[in-house]
Amino acid sequence: MDKRKLGKSGLEVSALGFGAMGMSFGFGPPGERGEMIKVLRHAVERGVTFFDTAEVYGPYANEELVGEALEPFKGKVVIATKFGFRPTPGETRWSTLDSRPAHIREVVEASLKRLRVDSIDLLYQHRVDPEVPIEDVAGAVKELIEAGKVKHFGLSEAGAKTIRRAHSVQPVTALQSEYSLWHRMPETDVMPTLEELGIGFVPFSPLGKGFLTGKVSADAQFGSSDFRSIVPRFAAENRKANQGFVELLGAVAARKGATPAQIALAWLLAQKPWIVPIPGTTKAARLDENLGGAEVKLSAGELAEINGAAAQLTVQGARYPAQLEALTGR
């Protein structure tokens, strides 16, 4: 697979990464551990070198899974994880924010053990904590980098001003935020800031939490452990109203001999050379399909067609419940 560098940092990874969250958290019951390990190792065999996890996924279970699966490939893959919440035992929803420097240090020590590594390749602040100045957060990570326990610093869902403030203390290697054909808010001020500062962009949910694949049926039911059960955009009436995005991708896919998912990923990769999407899955076949998106090349005319058609569509439904949306873009 082609490689990409995350901004000016020099951190080189596969053009498509792998988001492991759904294997343990957020999209229904956790996958069977042995099968999930097989999928993760299959990703490595297919050329994926960039894997994303977080302590809060599970909580803790996803880091342990990724650590076990990727231990044989130590030094050959890049693992990103996150701090910024204080998980509550037995609680699978998001927990209390906590980016105090002392807590960051505690999280890193625990994550190193769960991931079975000597240094964390990329450490993100999971969400901006309004109670802790971002300069203090960046300073704490800077100290961890100097101590050799972390290699690169990242932010997740941070706004442009916060990115600049953090970057002035410790260079930010990557920003991770939601970005796809049906969530383009980062284009307004975040992406220009990243380009100016030389920061890479790692879009999560590049397939719209599965919706853009065309595999989420109109009558789909989401269980209580599936995050989409509380997402307004996944209410039945909004899924029906948003079918135009799936139809657009499907029309282009039919002409290209591809799938809607592959076109959605190819569109993202075509936006900037420093963008590395991290689609996730629990199935090897779906992984193979997603990786095929890196092989699809969209012409300038096809990109213009997609952008023009998408501009005529209005997304129905918020991407998060209000309490979670309040944690983003600060």
What number of other Cβ atoms are within 10 A of residue 254's Cβ?
Answer: 12
The token pair that represents 287 in the structure block: 């992984």
Q: How many CA atoms lie less than 13 Å away from 49 in the CB half-sphere? A: 17
How far, in Å, are 90, 118, 148, 224 from residue 265 at the CA level? 35, 32, 34, 28
- Could you tell me how far CA 76 lies from the centroid of its own chain? 20
By C-alpha distance, which of 180, 113, 128, 124 is closest to 11? 124
320 catalytic per annotation: no
The single residue of 57, 60, 124, 179 carrying the catalytic annotation is 57
Residue 176 CB partners (closer than 8 Å, separation 6+): 52, 80, 124, 154, 155, 156, 157, 201, 202, 203, 204, 278
284 contacts 43 by C-beta, under 8 angstroms: no
Which residue in this structure is represented by tokens 């560098």? Answer: 5
Show which residues are catalytic.
Answer: 57
